[in-house]
Amino acid sequence: MALPATNVLRIVTCLWFTSMFFTATAQSNGIGTFYTPPYQPSACYGFEDQGMMIGAASKALWNDGGACGQYYQVKCVGARNQGVPMPCYGSGTVVVKIVDRCLPNLCRGTIDFSQEAFASIADPNAGDINIQYQQYVTLF
């Protein structure tokens, strides 16, 4: 059974409208970890609060501060340790804003999430997870 033309038009319009605000880049694999509050000061925004769905970029993403303000869609794809063999929740996807730099001598992951962002995609007891991530570019 075919969709009525008006429904197809609505779907196409919705997809077009959504694509005007965000565009995704290619996916990469990495490691997700988390840090706990306080989240300020941050390397990008000082003491300005940026919410809870935030993260710190590793050296691979930092780009001399170029990562500040970038958004990444991140998906939990699996465990990194046997203590929590199935850490991912539901769809296991979250969008985070990069607000800080993950210091190289302390950084164990590609993206170091706020505790709240990590807990939205995986069991914090896992400590670290395998992730797929892609940059989301806001057009407005």
* Domains of the chain: residue spans and CATH: 23-138 (2.40.40.10)
- Cα gap 100→62, rounded to integer Å: 9
Instruction: List the one residue out of 130, 59, 47, 55 whose CA is nearest residue 88.
Output: 130
pLDDT tens-place string over residues 28-86: 999 999 999 999 999 999 999 999 999 999 999 999 999 999 999 999 999 998 999 99
pTM beyond cutoff 0.75: yes
- Cα gap 85→95, rounded to integer Å: 24
Instruction: List the one residue out of 41, 38, 75, 44 whose CA is nearest residue 57.
Output: 44
